[in-house]
Amino acid sequence: MTGPESGPKNGASTFTVGLVQMRSGLDPAVNLVVASKLIGEAKAGGADYVQTPEMTNIMEIRRERLFAAIVPEEADPSLAAFRELARKHAIHLHVGSLALKLPGERAANRSFLIDRAGEIVARYDKIHMFDVDLANGESYRESRNFRPGELAVAADLPWGRLGLTICYDLRFPALYRALAEAGSSMLAIPAAFTRQTGEAHWHVLVRARAIENGSFVLAAAQGGRHENGRETYGHSLVVDPWGNVLAEGGVEPGVVLAQVDLAAVAAARSRVPSLQHGRRFEVATPMAEPLDFVAAQKSHGERGGAPPRGAPR
């Protein structure tokens, strides 16, 4: 991660966000056509920064079909096309994630931030793997196919610093606090939340990450029933540092637009300066007795006399 907080590079703090909501299928070429069309719509709507969801290029959990369809980063046609789209539209394009082949029969769940010249300015590999068994019988083992990342990443846009995360990372608040402490005024959470977990937790978790860090959250999502049978929640969100939802998608593919004014970050952080008030601490070893009871016993032992009321005799 980069260091101290980074302010606007061009003196402007206001820009337009475009979130691309998708329903990615099994064919990366088809998904690229859909994503390209929606990115164009976002640009036509005035977007300066466009974000696509997690697994933009393919939605598949079966290992054989996944590895038959993906390629290494340097050979990936989707990434090359997205770089060209960023150049063509003169936008900052954040590819929420692509599944890319790695050596050793593993894959990366990797985000790319591409600048207006089509250059890749940041890569981020998802740190937290979605290995869960849900109450409705759905079971996921992301770690069987994907190698987890080990590095938190923040990158500078013309308006401020962006912290990069992906989907399940959302449930690990320490990552977002670290990104905010490293100067991020925006937090990106491209996602493919399941319908079940999304209905229960998506809004409250996204808003919590915004509120507790005094940051904008930009979260493009997958939505609907996919070719492989998986159902995702959708509801792409733009949330301000006070927890207000500025824009929200539904379940269908489309584009969500919102104007972001980063002056709201300084305002929120001045009202509740929790980033300044955070303190490092240690966790005490659990004790057999409550701390106040132990303290009372110690105090009595120092003074002598009868033991405190309720103490063993």
Per residue in 26-74, pLDDT (tens digit) is 999 999 999 999 999 999 999 999 999 999 999 998 999 999 999 999 9
Residues 147, 136: contact at Cβ < 8 Å? no
User: How many CB atoms neighbour CB 148 within 10 A?
Assistant: 14
- Please name which of 102, 82, 100, 98 lies closest in space to residue 40, comparing C-alpha atoms: 82
Task: Name the segment(s) of the chain with CATH classification 3.60.110.10.
Answer: 14-277
How would you classify the pairing of strands 139-141 and 254-261? unpaired
The two tokens of residue 262 are 């980063």
Catalytic residue IDs: 54, 126, 167
Residues 106, 72: contact at Cβ < 8 Å? no
The low-confidence residues of the chain, meaning pLDDT below 50, are 1-6, 306-313
The arrangement of strands across the sheet holding 254-261 comes to 120-125, 106-114, 92-102, 49-51, 14-21, 254-261
pLDDT at 310: 46
Residues 218, 187: contact at Cβ < 8 Å? yes
pLDDT at 299: 62
pLDDT at 290: 66
Residues 262, 14: contact at Cβ < 8 Å? yes
Alpha-carbon distance of 11 to 263, in angstroms, equals 11
Superfamily of domain 14-277 in CATH is Carbon-nitrogen hydrolase (3.60.110.10)
